[in-house]
Structure 1
């Protein structure tokens, strides 16, 4: 992976008790897939999650590369990315885990939840294309957009998403982030 791709990773490392080692367990369930507008086109990012055997607890989560040229093989982010992108995992309840990604002076929060039905969902706060704020929107698609200078990706501009609100209305917009320094 090139340096630019490493700097622009938006999504979710760090050794925390809520992160699985991919070599130790059965595959998790993909909750979020993030496409990118830079770097190698056959690599996406994904957040996978694992639930308890009785599907009553969201046990763990992990963000990693997905190699689409190799049947979606998962690969850890790597040390360079881990130095540039900080991840925090916060358990809100046995069924909810917030993954906070900080990089390029921006902080994004993704709330993973295990529904009563056993399905896993990801929620984000967004600002819609029409200027409306939706504080809780269930993700369907995500696309990481690079900040470019002279055509070269040099930072993280935004994360565009398609999602649906509690009433089922579909929205397109940008994940709301918090500026950090």
Structure 2
């Protein structure tokens, strides 16, 4: 009969059981910073690829916002890079590491949501150029100012998940774990 046969004698079984008991008794605290560093870097790379952990691209910017955005016009979730730079990891226990951001707006970008904008007063500056009315900045000397009331409105922000594990992350975590088991505390 064709096939493969595997025979494990009692001595080999005892050796494997001893190895597993030794690994279970090891302190995983040296492993957690390695995993945290990898996951922090992987999460920050998503801002370059503009994709969620599952590989789907982030929702594009609304055209109106994209036109007035001053910096990083082609990047979603990146105006000046603060959200990306505030992604950190924290070892919260001997066998736990957390990766995330402490920025107030991180959750709304991760999960999406609506922001209620209350009614407010504002002063707008405008000028006339060749028969067209244009908004004017403070540097324009002959602009007309008008006080206006901006009504209550909602800003809908689509979910653009940046936290989570991709299939590449899962593969790499397994490699880091196997390296830690194989090499011991020296890595």
User: Fold match, TM over 0.5?
Assistant: no
Structure having the higher helix fraction is 2
Structure having the higher strand fraction is 1
Q: Identify the structure with bigger relative contact order (alpha carbons < 8 Å, sequence gap 6+).
A: 2
TM-score range, shorter chain: under 0.3
Instruction: Tell which structure's C-alpha radius of gyration is larger.
Output: 2
